[in-house]
Structure 1
Amino acid sequence: MTSKVAIDLDFLRSWIGREQTLEDVVTLDLARKFHATLELPGPPPERGQPAAPLIHFCLAQPAVPTAELAEDGHPAKGGFLPPVPLPRRMWAGGDVTFHGPIVIGEAVRRVSRVVDLRSKSGRSGHLVFVTVEHRLESGSRLLVQERQDIVYRDAVTGETAPQPVADPAGVGQEHQDVAISPPLLFRYSALTFNSHRIHYDRDYAVGVEGYRDLVVHGPLQATLLCNLAARIKGKPATHFSFRAQSPVFADDILTLNASADGAEWRLWTCRPDGPVAMSATARWADDAE
């Protein structure tokens, strides 16, 4: 499919170098709700203790007035992120390095910077990739460095067109089933202040964006996998990367899988007998393996 949308790459690339700084506090209330939403094992952490991995996806999120949201529920384009003239926006993947624990009760600062923008054409039309780097700090301590890959695409994509049956993803050495429900998606959207309608408005997700049901957040899948890796090893990973590969939907059973691969663990999500939905790797800097 060839898109008829005109994309001025030189104009969009003028956003490279743009920065945004936001501040937040890691509250006990957030940690408690994060723990309950993900159904993490054991009691929720207390003030002064480390928070669960990837809780920073919930911190220092832009607070745009409701009247300034676009039809899809995202903030209107052209602020910190470039105004890419394509209707669908997705978090395609990311790469996270953990330098120190995020402690419950501390104040944090997130410094974000647009570092790259590129375009390509594929089976589903135009694709524009925007790369953002985030630094999460507390005082003089660097806590997290993150690369976030965002993809913008045409309205009609590979998810809406008939697809060949992909090979089943298979089951890992370690695996866990998670029941995906609309309340889980709603709670995670609330924790991350994510108003993208594909996660809570089924009529919009099906009728406008062409999915078969509510879509499971990529960051939610990444968070489930990252916390699975921490449980397997008995300690949080120091490096975690992930990539979205195919959508999964509300009322699916989502299987979290993990298999050892040398000094790292390879992880993935899938629905029963389905293809890989998200792939990931986790590494530990102090491993002697």
Structure 2
Amino acid sequence: MTDQIDIAHLRSWIGREEEATDVVGAELVRRFAATLDLEPASAGPGSPAPALIHLCLAPPVVPTCATGPDGHPARGGFLPPVPLPRRMWAGGAFTFHRDIRVGERVLRRSRIGEVAVKEGRTGLLCFVTVEHRISVEGELVVTERQDIVYRDAGGAPSAVPEPAPAGEVRKHVAPTPLLLFRYSALTFNGHRIHYDHPYATGVEGYPGLVVHGPMQATMLLHHAAAIGGRTPSRFSFRSLSPLFDDADFTLNAVEDGEGIRLWTAREGGPVAMSAQAWWQA
């Protein structure tokens, strides 16, 4: 099946770079905190902005006429034109060097690090790794690795995964259509699986709206920060199975050596996203 993809052509994107800038506005901080039900924080100039707010900064902006039928920008450009219909954020990792602060102008330098094709349980998969360096006036503030996966339409694993355990510290989340819409708006994410129920169910075949991977990661990171008393210095996550708006889910955490192990899951369902948080001594 790998002959469906010209991997040599796609790998020619490795090393491609782009830059984008944006300002951390006070109103964005307020909307971010309100969307995720975070404790209201000061949004005055120089105040620390919530962790992972940089995912809302400088999103790709294209005219509506230049988007594809799924709501994403048309294939090509910075990301390679992978000819597979389903695209998801499979995982990632962050190192936080210092807080991003309200009023700062942030520069994001992005680079395509790897492109690889694999045969998975559900069919053909293409992984694209993007490396981001987030800086303010030349000072590195966040280092990020983003893992994107493209896959065939349809095809579900034949094995039924085991239900996730309950964490020592749990928090319930209701993934309402309003929550999903507001997070899509914060990140300027046009992917229709997150807000267009007829499209998500009728075209892509999901049982409901899909809960954003980056939003789950953000919730897990803030769950860890609430437990640890401060933002972790490092955080990584991996998406394992989707969550939908047809059932509530939980944020779970257990202490794990020098850090905290975290995961999301719906009641009786498998682990949807696993994560790990660490703090420097």
**What does 1:220-235 correspond to in 2, within 5 Å?**
220-235=215-230
Residues in 2 aligned to 1:275 and 1:44: alpha-carbon distance in whole angstroms = 37
Contact 2:30 2:40 survives alignment (8 Å):
no
Q: Which residue of 2 aligns with 1:80?
A: 78
When residues 34 and 44 of structure 1 are mapped into structure 2, their CA distance, relative to the original with a 3 A threshold, is farther
Q: Which residue of 1 aligns with 2:15?
A: 17
Residues in 1 aligned to 2:243 and 2:4: alpha-carbon distance in whole angstroms = 31
Secondary structure, counterpart of 1:118 in structure 2: strand
Residues in 2 aligned to 1:167 and 1:13: alpha-carbon distance in whole angstroms = 36
Contact 1:97 1:145 survives alignment (8 Å):
yes
Residues in 2 aligned to 1:120 and 1:42: alpha-carbon distance in whole angstroms = 44
Q: Cα deviation per residue 1:228-285 (whole Å; 9 max; x = unaligned)? A: 1111111100100000001110142110001000101000000011110000000011
Q: Which residue of 2 aligns with 1:199?
A: 194
Residues in 1 aligned to 2:31 and 2:246: alpha-carbon distance in whole angstroms = 22
Unaligned runs of 5+ in 2: none
Q: Which residue of 1 aligns with 2:268?
A: 273
RMSD, aligned CA: 1.3
Q: Which residue of 1 aligns with 2:99?
A: 101
1:174 corresponds to 2:197: no
Amino acid at match of 1:280: A
Cα drift, residue 157 of structure 1:
2.7
Q: Which residue of 1 aligns with 2:112?
A: 114
**What does 1:1-289 correspond to in 2, within 5 Å?**
6-158=4-156, 163-286=158-281
Contact 1:179 1:251 survives alignment (8 Å):
no
Contact 1:18 1:80 survives alignment (8 Å):
yes
Cα drift, residue 131 of structure 1:
0.3
Which 4+ stretches in 1 moved above 6 angstroms?
none
Secondary structure, counterpart of 1:62 in structure 2: coil
Cα drift, residue 164 of structure 1:
3.9
Residues in 2 aligned to 1:245 and 1:153: alpha-carbon distance in whole angstroms = 14
Secondary structure, counterpart of 1:180 in structure 2: coil
Q: Which shifted more, 243-252 or 177-186?
A: 243-252
Identity rate, percent: 58
Cα drift, residue 6 of structure 1:
1.8
Residues in 2 aligned to 1:174 and 1:125: alpha-carbon distance in whole angstroms = 36
Unaligned runs of 5+ in 1: none
Residues in 2 aligned to 1:9 and 1:218: alpha-carbon distance in whole angstroms = 26
Amino acid at match of 1:196: H
Contact 1:35 1:44 survives alignment (8 Å):
no
Residues in 2 aligned to 1:32 and 1:44: alpha-carbon distance in whole angstroms = 9
Q: Cα deviation per residue 1:120-161 (whole Å; 9 max; x = unaligned)? A: 112221100000000111002101000000000001132xx7
Residues in 2 aligned to 1:90 and 1:104: alpha-carbon distance in whole angstroms = 30
Residues in 2 aligned to 1:21 and 1:250: alpha-carbon distance in whole angstroms = 34
Cα drift, residue 41 of structure 1:
2.2
Residues in 2 aligned to 1:127 and 1:231: alpha-carbon distance in whole angstroms = 36
Q: TM-score, normalised by structure 2?
A: 0.97
Secondary structure, counterpart of 2:4 in structure 1: coil
> How many equivalent pairs are there?
281
Secondary structure, counterpart of 1:83 in structure 2: coil
Q: Which shifted more, 25-34 or 44-53?
A: 44-53
Q: Cα deviation per residue 1:73-101 (whole Å; 9 max; x = unaligned)? A: 11111100000000010000001100111
